[in-house]
């Protein structure tokens, strides 16, 4: 038996079929690891490094809008706030540089040119300033479209939030409305009533953008107060007072010497002037100042009471910030009035009013809480999200009082 087995074992170890098959397999494996057809096919069909980088770049740019997280949603909403605040400030610069009729027609810049071109009777620099501001409207529209796309795609807990979508939709619709109203302003030779409505509509769109920015950072539960009930009421009451101050400011501007243009293109060659409010400048200025004093007093009371009652730190900081802005605004207002209303100082005053508007809205929202945003894919703890939870609106008073442990 051993003699018979020895050749078989030797053959198996050297020239047996199993060994040949094993060697063939090893050879195939070796070929696959080096120059085999499988590797060649895999290498030829794989994506090029440049294409991979391009895809990653596209994904990095589009993911915040198409697959927004709570953080990216908040950033996009903040971009909407910045864009709408910026267009108000650039619009004020157009008016205060006497460039309001630099493009005397609409939607074209002039009767013979869609873009900026020299017009009879007005310096070319005024045309460039006005046309540049018109072009900025397209940038604001791009931001507005991105805001509504992001709000539509934002689905915390797997469901869209209708309130956020409506707030986002107001921005592109507002841009269209502002473009039409801006055309009316130009074609009526900067009628002060049209200019006032133009500014107040911009302020309304900005308020909706700030509301979206605040609401997308919180959940959809019913609001609970973070401060005393009377202080919550006062924080809400500040918003219409600021709005009243903005409206009075437009009347002062529409009455004063800064008409927005020194050239009236639609007068047909006759001597003419930009229409103004027929009101006493001192009277409307005093009314504007009185509203400012009332606002400053209310903000001072609120800031001090928030500090003494141990309100959350963020709320207290916003209260002091708003008080500082209102105080600075008062100093600038008196300085511009007694220095003869220089255009640069008036622009700083207008820009300050925009910041006060934002701060007042932020303070109002900070005095109540709706819980955290639910990350995508995670169930909400506590009450489920409902459509009715979105109905709190801008001035929802909230329910129970939450007292912080430390001031």
The pTM (predicted TM-score) of the whole model is 0.78
Q: For the segment 101-158, what is each residue's pLDDT rounded down to a tens digit? A: 888 888 888 777 777 766 666 678 888 898 999 999 999 999 999 999 999 999 887 7
CA atoms within 13 A on the CB side of 65: 15
Percent of the chain residues past pLDDT 70, beyond the cut:
75
Q: For the segment 276-290, what is each residue's pLDDT rounded down to a tens digit? A: 898 999 999 999 999
Residue 1 pLDDT > 90: no
Residue 18 pLDDT > 70: no
- What does the alpha-carbon distance between residue 81 and residue 242 come to, in Å, rounded to a whole number? 18
- What does the alpha-carbon distance between residue 151 and residue 162 come to, in Å, rounded to a whole number? 9
Residue 99 pLDDT > 60: yes
Q: Residues 190-210: what's their mean pLDDT?
A: 95
136 versus 15: which is more confidently predicted? 136
Residue 348 pLDDT > 50: yes
- What does the alpha-carbon distance between residue 206 and residue 83 come to, in Å, rounded to a whole number? 9
Residue spans of the domains in the chain: they are 65-267+276-377
**Tokens 């630099």 — which residue?**
102
pLDDT attached to residue 168: 96
* Both tokens assigned to 150: 């992001």
Q: Residues 53-75: what's their mean pLDDT?
A: 83
pLDDT attached to residue 105: 85
Which of the four pLDDT bands, split at 50, 70 and 90, describes residue 341? confident
CA atoms within 13 A on the CB side of 405: 0
117 versus 359: which is more confidently predicted? 359
Q: For the segment 210-222, what is each residue's pLDDT rounded down to a tens digit? A: 999 999 988 888 8
Which of the four pLDDT bands, split at 50, 70 and 90, describes residue 228? very high
Q: Mean pLDDT score of the chain, rounded to an integer?
A: 80
* DSSP one-letter code for 47: P
114 versus 160: which is more confidently predicted? 160
pLDDT attached to residue 172: 96
Residue 377 pLDDT > 80: no
């Amino acid at each position: 038996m051993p003699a018979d087995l020895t050749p078989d074992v030797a053959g198996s170890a050297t020239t047996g079929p199993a060994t040949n098959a094993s060697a063939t397999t090893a050879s195939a494996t070796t070929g696959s690891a080096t120059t085999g057809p499988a590797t060649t096919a895999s290498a030829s069909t794989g994506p090029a490094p440049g294409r991979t980088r391009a895809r990653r770049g596209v994904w990095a740019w589009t993911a915040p809008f198409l697959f927004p997280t709570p953080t990216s949603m908040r950033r996009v909403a903040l971009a909407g706030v910045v864009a709408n605040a910026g267009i108000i400030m650039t619009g004020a610069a157009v008016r205060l540089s006497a460039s309001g009729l630099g493009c005397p027609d609409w939607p074209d810049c002039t009767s013979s040119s869609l873009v900026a071109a020299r017009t009879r009777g007005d310096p070319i620099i005024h045309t460039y300033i006005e046309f540049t501001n018109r072009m900025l409207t397209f940038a604001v529209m791009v931001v507005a479209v991105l805001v509504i796309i992001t709000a539509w795609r934002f689905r915390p807990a797997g469901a869209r939030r209708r309130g956020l979508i409506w707030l986002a939709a107001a921005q592109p619709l507002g841009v269209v409305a502002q473009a039409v109203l801006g055309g009316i302003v130009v074609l009526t030779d900067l009628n002060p009533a049209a200019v006032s409505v133009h500014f107040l509509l911009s302020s309304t769109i900005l308020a909706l953008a700030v509301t979206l920015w605040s609401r997308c950072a919180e959940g959809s539960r019913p609001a609970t107060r973070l401060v005393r009930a009377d202080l919550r009421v006062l924080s809400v009451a500040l918003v219409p007072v600021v709005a009243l101050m903005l409206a009075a400011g437009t009347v002062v501007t529409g009455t004063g010497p800064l008409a927005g243009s020194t050239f009236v293109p639609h007068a047909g060659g006759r001597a003419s002037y930009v229409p103004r409010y027929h009101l006493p400048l001192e009277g409307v200025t005093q009314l504007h100042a009185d509203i400012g004093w009332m606002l400053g007093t209310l903000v001072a009371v609120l800031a001090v009471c928030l500090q003494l009652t141990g309100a959350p730190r963020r709320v207290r900081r916003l209260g002091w910030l708003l008080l500082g802005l209102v105080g600075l605004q008062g100093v600038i207002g008196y300085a511009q009035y007694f220095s003869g209303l220089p255009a640069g100082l008036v622009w700083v005053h207008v820009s300050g009013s925009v910041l006060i508007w934002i701060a007042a809205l932020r303070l109002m929202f900070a005095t109540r809480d709706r819980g955290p945003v639910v990350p995508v894919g995670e169930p909400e703890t506590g009450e489920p999200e409902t459509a009715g939870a979105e109905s709190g609106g801008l001035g929802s008073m909230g329910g129970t009082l939450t007292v912080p442990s430390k001031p």
